Amino acid sequence: MDTIYITGHRNPDTDSIVSAMAYAALKNALGQRQYEAARLGQISDETQTVLDRFGFQPPKLLTNVRTQVRDLDFDTPPTLSAAATISRAWRTMQKEKISALPVSNEDGTLYGMLSAGDVANYDMASVRNPNVGTIPVYNLLSVLEGKILNQGGEMRDMISGDVTIALPASRENLVFSSPESIVVCGDQPDMIRRALEIGVACIIVCQAEVDPEILAMQTDTCIISTAYDAYRAVRLIYHAMPISSICKNKDLVCFHLDDYIDDVRNTVLESRFRAYPILDEEERVVGTLSRYHLLRPRRKQVILMDHNEKAQSVPGLDQAEILEIIDHHRLADIQTKNPIIVRNEPVGSTTTIVAGMYQDKGLMPTAKMAGLMAAAIVSDTVMFKSPTCTQRDIDVANRMARIANISLQELGQVIFSASAGGDKSAEEIFRTDYKEFHIAGHDLAVSQVTCMDSDRLLQRKEEFLRLMRDIRREKKFDMVILMITDVLLEGTQLLFVGDRDSIRQAFGAADAGEAEDVMFLPKIMSRKKQVIPMLSALWG
C-alpha cells in the first residue's frame, strides 16, 4: 500500500511538525490507509526539546515529492539467472507474454537483458554456423528431457562442437568436421559406432534403443537418449546454451527506483530499447520499465498541514496529488486537479484543528501525544498572548494538558527558553522560522524567533543585520525582517533592512531610525495576523 505523506511547511515550527504527527496518528488509528508524517526542513531547538520531552522521534525528512520510478506501475517479469537455458527463457517469454527479460547474477544484481530479438538473431545465425560453443551437460539433459546411457558419459560436465545430423547412409559416407562434434542420429548402430571410433563429444540418439554392446564400449563420448525426433533435437541443442551467451550485457541503460521520471523520460527518448531494467538500492533487479509506463505515472499523495502556499510547500508538489489541506492561515495559491477536503479555521494553532478532528472521530490521543499537542498550541499562540489565539485554543490546550497530566505554565517556560539558541549561528536562528512573501508586487522575507529574553538575542544584532543584508541582496527582496518576539515583554523587537518608509508607515513609527535598524513594537506577537496584514494594507 502506498504511503500518504502528511507534511507541514518549509522551515517547520513546532505546530507544523506536531500537527502533521498528530494527524498521521489519527489517520493510522482509524485504519484507513498508511499515513506518515514528514518534515521539509531541520527541526528547531524548541521542537526538538518538545519531542524529547514526550519521547518522540522527528518525522522523516522529505526533500521533494517528484514522481520517481518507484511510483510507476512498472513490470515485474521473472528474472532469470545468466546460467539458465535459452529454452527456458523463451518459454518464460511465451508464458508471460513479454518480449524482454532481465538476466541476473547469482546475487540478484544485473547481468544483462534478453529480448525475443536476441533469440531470433541467434536462431538465424545457427543455421549457417553449426557450432554451439560450450554447453553444460545439465542444460542439454534438461532441454532434451534425456538421460545419459553410458558410464563414460557420466564423467563429462561440458560439451562443445559442431552439431551434425547423421542421415541414414553407409558409415563410410559419414564425415564429421572434428572429433569435437555433437552427432544426432536415430536407430543407426553403425553410425553410432563410427562416431564412437572418431571420439566425438556427444551422441544424441533420438527415439531409439542403443545396443548394450555399444554402451559397454570404453569411451569418453557422452551418449544421450531423447524422445524427440532429430529435427527438434537439433533446435533444442542450440537452445540448451546459457542465456549469458546471447543476451546484451554491455552499454545497458538501466534505472533505479529513486530516479525521477523527468530524467528517465529524457533518457528513454534518446535510446531505442524495448525495456529497461530497474534496480534497487543494492543494485538488484526489481523489474523492467517500458515507454508506456511513462504515459500515466502514479503520483505521490500528500496532505498539506499548516500551510496552503506553494512557496511554503514541498518541492515537486505539481507532480503530486493533494488529498487534503488543514490550515489556519489565509488561503493562498495552491491549486488541485480534483475536489479535496479543506479544513481552514481561524484559530491560533493548526494542532487545535487536529484535536477537534480527534473529537469528531471519537478518539482520544494518548497521554504522550496529548502533551505534544499541548506544547504545539502553547508555542504557536505564544503562551496564549498572540492575537491569533482564540478561546478554543486555550480550551483545547487545557484539555490536552489534563490528558497528559502536565502544567502549561511549566511547559511554556521550557519551550520559550529553548528558542534562544545560544549555541547556534545567526543564520541557524534566523532560518528556524523563516518565510518568504510576495505582496502586491513586493517581495520580502520575515523570520520570527520567540523567546523569554530578547536582550540576549539583541546582543547579536549586527550578526543578524549582516545576514539580512546578504539575503536581501542575493534574492533582490524589498525588505527582510526579523521578529524577536518576547513572551515576557509581550511585544516584538523588529530588526529590518530595506524599505524604511514602508516600515515606518506600516507600524506607525515616525522615528524608525536608520535604514537598517531595530524598533520595539508593543503587543505585536504574530507575523500572520499583525505584521503581514499591516504590510498588505499598506501596499494593497
Residue 252: all three cell numbers together: 545497458
Q: Is residue 222 over pLDDT 70? A: yes
Could you tell me how far CA 139 lies from the centroid of its own chain?
40
Confidence of residue 220 (pLDDT cuts 50, 70, 90): confident
Superfamily (CATH) of domain 426-539: DHHA2 domain (3.10.310.20)
Tell me what pLDDT residue 153 has.
Answer: 81
Residue 149: all three cell numbers together: 546411457
DSSP 3-state of 270:
coil
At the top level of CATH, which class does the domain 3-67+300-417 belong to? alpha beta
Tell me what pLDDT residue 516 has.
Answer: 56
Residue 445: which of 332, 527, 539 has the closest Cα?
527
Residue 266: which of 291, 283, 299, 300 has the closest Cα?
291
Tell me what pLDDT residue 169 has.
Answer: 56
Q: For 301-339, what is each residue's pLDDT tens digit?
A: 999 999 999 989 999 999 999 999 999 998 888 989 899
Q: Is residue 274 over pLDDT 50? A: yes
Rama region for 175: left / alpha / beta (φ>0; ψ in -120 to 50; rest): beta
Residue 480: which of 447, 512, 433 has the closest Cα?
447
Question: Three-state secondary structure along 452-510?
Answer: CCHHHHHCCHHHHHHHHHHHHHHHCCCEEEEEEEECCCCEEEEEEEECHHHHHHHHCCC
Q: For 396-413, what is each residue's pLDDT tens digit?
A: 999 999 999 999 999 998
Please state the domain extents for the chain.
Answer: 3-67+300-417, 426-539
Q: Go through 165-185 and write b for each residue having 16 or more CB atoms within 10 A of its CB, e for each that does not.
A: bbeeeeeeebebeeeebbbbb
Secondary element (H or E) of residue 278: strand 276-279
Q: What percent of the chain stands above pLDDT 90?
A: 67
Confidence of residue 194 (pLDDT cuts 50, 70, 90): confident
Average pLDDT over residues 512-525: 75
Determine phi and psi for 196, rounding to 5 degrees: -70, -35
Q: Is residue 47 over pLDDT 90? A: yes
- Contact between 485 and 502 under an 8 Å Cβ cutoff? The reply is no
Report d(CA 276, CA 539) in Å as an integer. Answer: 55
- Contact between 45 and 343 under an 8 Å Cβ cutoff? The reply is no
This prediction has a pTM of 0.71
Confidence of residue 422 (pLDDT cuts 50, 70, 90): low
Angle at 230 between CA 227 and CA 231, to 5 degrees: 120
Please list the helix, strand and coil fractions of the chain in percent, rounded to the nearest 5, in that order: 40, 25, 35
Contacts (Cβ under 8 Å, ≥6 apart) of 41: 10, 11, 12, 61
Tell me what pLDDT residue 539 has.
Answer: 87
Q: For 9-38, what is each residue's pLDDT tens digit?
A: 998 999 999 999 999 999 999 987 899 999
Residue 218: which of 160, 157, 151, 156 has the closest Cα?
151
Looking up cell 523588529, which residue turns up?
Answer: 494
Residue 187: all three cell numbers together: 536407430
Report d(CA 52, CA 510) in Å as an integer. Answer: 45
Q: What is the mean pLDDT of the chain?
A: 90
Confidence of residue 515 (pLDDT cuts 50, 70, 90): very low
Q: For 155-191, what is each residue's pLDDT tens digit?
A: 888 988 889 888 765 445 555 556 778 999 998 888 8
Tell me what pLDDT residue 174 has.
Answer: 53
Q: What percent of the chain stands above pLDDT 70?
A: 96
Higher-confidence residue: 281 or 420?
A: 281
Q: Across the strands, what pairs with 113?
A: 102, 248
Report d(CA 179, CA 196) in Å as an integer. Answer: 9
DSSP 3-state of 190:
helix
Confidence of residue 57 (pLDDT cuts 50, 70, 90): very high
Q: For 372-389, what is each residue's pLDDT tens digit?
A: 999 999 999 999 998 899
Tell me what pLDDT residue 514 has.
Answer: 47
Residue 98: which of 124, 71, 123, 75 has the closest Cα?
75
Q: Is residue 208 over pLDDT 60? A: yes
Tell me what pLDDT residue 114 has.
Answer: 95
- Contact between 533 and 506 under an 8 Å Cβ cutoff? The reply is no
Report d(CA 457, CA 434) in Å as an integer. Answer: 16
